[in-house]
């Protein structure tokens, strides 16, 4: 696979560092230009044929990298005399691409990602365009991606929209895999917006555009503050550790009674209220290197109290409330099934035995495969003996919190590794705070 880097930015927000003497992608992070970090990651993933689209002070990039041979690469350039937006240069790419797919990277992102894993997803989905998406700590000022249950993209939610609704923390991260024929959609070398024109048009035409969700590290380093943060994360080893080639640790979280107050069977969004400690607890997980993953039974669907869409709205409320506080969940999984019959208004479609309902471990097993999680180094936190049994079945450590049911459901006799006041107490003890 070939790679294309959009390296034409001026970077007005980085003038303090660039002095307008170097282009934005050459801004140093820990003494090395952003572009060099990107090139190093591409090479690690077996990508050695790179095309850079340059503009403002582009000669500085050419002077630094040359033809790439000194680094065992082939690097070629497309120079934009006039800015062509995020996709106008695709017109010129048609003559330079020789492989069926190419990777596109924006020149102001720092990343450490298993790109081969993303490529496998692209091929398995038979996708024409695949976008890397992730949760982040500021979804309220980010462009969001709205998907269906199969990760197919339905539409984009611009950061400029007035969001008077709950939303999924699913952010367009600025890395893409495209079928090379996408370049044929740009018939003239004119300013073209990748998201608003090309991708949105493809979605409207029902072309295969998918979102690849990953908890790996990718950060827009377009401000001085974000560069300073990235430098600390590089030096600590945090960035490299998040690559899914490496085994991950996770804290699996029950929902009702653990993250939100126990309020009977929560079937409507107005019934969902966060526990007071939830934000700080999840913030602590985000900073620790553990993944934060919700694993919850939601029999309200099988009982006929609500639909799948209602549960998803509740979860979007949870993600929105957390996002407003600068914290995020890496994944939310729920089981809508309930095997026992005889309830009024029950939905027979979901009244079935399954392998996802806790204490079975189908949801945990799925996440472990998807995110390369070492379950022996992970934890399950919940307020019921069902949660403790689930953790034991999965081979994780377990923590019972004294909120919600506080272990009084009495369904199982398994002893937790820890009994904690609440979610924050449990997380602090796990991560050593």
Q: How far apart are CA 92 and CA 188, in angstroms?
A: 9
Structure tokens at 24: 């934005």
State the residue for tokens 């472990």. Answer: 368
Task: Classify residue 194 by its DSSP letter.
Answer: I
**What is the token pair recorded at 105?**
């990277």
Could you tell me which of 181, 209, 208 has the C-alpha nearest to residue 195? Answer: 209
Of 291, 379, 280, 374, nearest in space to 331 by CA: 291
Which residues does 132 contact at the CB level (< 8 Å), separation at least 6?
A: 113, 118, 172, 173, 174, 175, 176, 212, 214, 218
Taking the C-alpha atoms of residue 420 and residue 406, their distance in angstroms, rounded to an integer, is 9
Classified as helix, coil or strand, 302 is coil
What distance separates the 2 farthest-apart alpha carbons in the chain? Answer: 74
* Helices within 75-149 (DSSP H only): 90-93, 115-124
Among this protein's residues, is 220 annotated catalytic? no
First-to-last C-alpha distance (Å) of the chain: 43
Rounded to whole angstroms, the Cα distance separating 409 from 224 reads 51
Q: Which of 168, 254, 360, 405 is catalytic?
A: 254
Say how far apart CA 178 and CA 346 lie, in whole Å: 44
Q: Cα-Cα-Cα-Cα dihedral of 376, 382, 383, 386, to 10°? A: -60
- Can you say whether residue 334 is alpha, beta or left, with left for phi > 0 and alpha for psi between -120 and 50 degrees? beta
CB contact set of 424 (below 8 Å; sequence gap of 6+): 277, 278, 280, 281, 284
Annotated catalytic residue: which of 256, 383, 387, 405?
Answer: 256
Instruction: State yes or no: is 254 an active-site residue.
Output: yes
Neighbour count for residue 326 (Cβ, 10 Å): 15
What's the number of CA atoms in the CB half-sphere (13 Å) around residue 300?
21
From residue 174, give the alpha-carbon distance in Å to each of 5, 56, 144, 146, 280.
11, 20, 12, 15, 28
Q: Is 15 in a helix, a strand, or coil? A: helix
- Catalytic amino acids? 254, 256
């Amino acid at each position: 696979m070939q790679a294309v880097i959009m390296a034409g930015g001026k970077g007005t927000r980085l003038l303090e560092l660039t002095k307008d003497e170097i282009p934005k992608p050459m801004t140093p992070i820990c003494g090395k230009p952003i572009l060099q970090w990107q090139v190093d990651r591409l090479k690690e993933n077996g990508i050695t044929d790179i095309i850079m689209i340059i503009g403002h002070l582009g000669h500085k990039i050419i002077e630094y990298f040359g033809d790439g041979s000194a680094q065992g690469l082939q690097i070629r350039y497309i120079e934009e005399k006039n800015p062509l937006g995020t996709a106008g240069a695709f017109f010129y790419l048609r003559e330079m691409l020789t492989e069926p797919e190419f990777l596109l990277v924006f020149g102001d992102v720092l990343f450490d990602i298993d790109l081969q894993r993303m490529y496998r997803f692209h091929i398995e989905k038979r996708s024409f365009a695949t976008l890397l998406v992730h949760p982040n700590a500021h979804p309220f000022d980010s462009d969001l991606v709205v998907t269906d249950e199969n990760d197919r993209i339905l539409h984009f939610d611009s950061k400029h929209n007035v969001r008077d609704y709950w939303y999924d923390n699913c952010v367009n991260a600025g890395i893409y895999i495209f079928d090379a024929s996408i370049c044929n959609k740009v018939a003239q070398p004119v300013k073209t917006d990748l998201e608003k024109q090309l991708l949105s048009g493809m979605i409207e035409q029902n072309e295969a555009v998918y979102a690849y969700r990953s908890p790996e590290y990718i950060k827009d380093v377009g401000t001085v503050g974000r560069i300073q943060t990235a430098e600390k994360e590089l030096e600590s080893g945090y960035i490299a550790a998040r690559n899914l080639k490496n085994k991950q640790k996770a804290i699996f979280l029950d929902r009702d009674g653990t993250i939100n107050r126990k309020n009977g069977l929560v079937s409507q969004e107005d019934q969902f209220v966060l526990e007071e400690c939830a934000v700080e607890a999840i913030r602590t997980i985000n900073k620790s290197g553990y993944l934060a993953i919700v694993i919850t039974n939601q029999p309200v669907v099988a009982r006929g109290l609500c639909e799948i869409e209602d549960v998803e709205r509740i979860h979007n409320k949870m993600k929105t409330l957390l996002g407003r506080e600068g914290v995020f969940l890496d994944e939310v999984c729920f089981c809508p099934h309930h095997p026992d019959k005889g309830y009024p208004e029950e939905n027979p479609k979901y009244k079935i035995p399954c392998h996802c309902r806790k204490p079975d471990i189908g949801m945990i097993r799925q996440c472990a495969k998807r995110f390369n999680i070492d379950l022996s180094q992970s934890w399950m936190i919940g307020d019921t003996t069902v949660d403790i049994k689930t953790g034991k079945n999965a081979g994780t450590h377990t923590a019972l919190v004294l909120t919600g049911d506080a272990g009084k459901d009495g369904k199982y006799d398994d002893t937790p590794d820890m009994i904690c006041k609440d979610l924050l107490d449990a997380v602090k003890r796990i991560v050593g705070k």
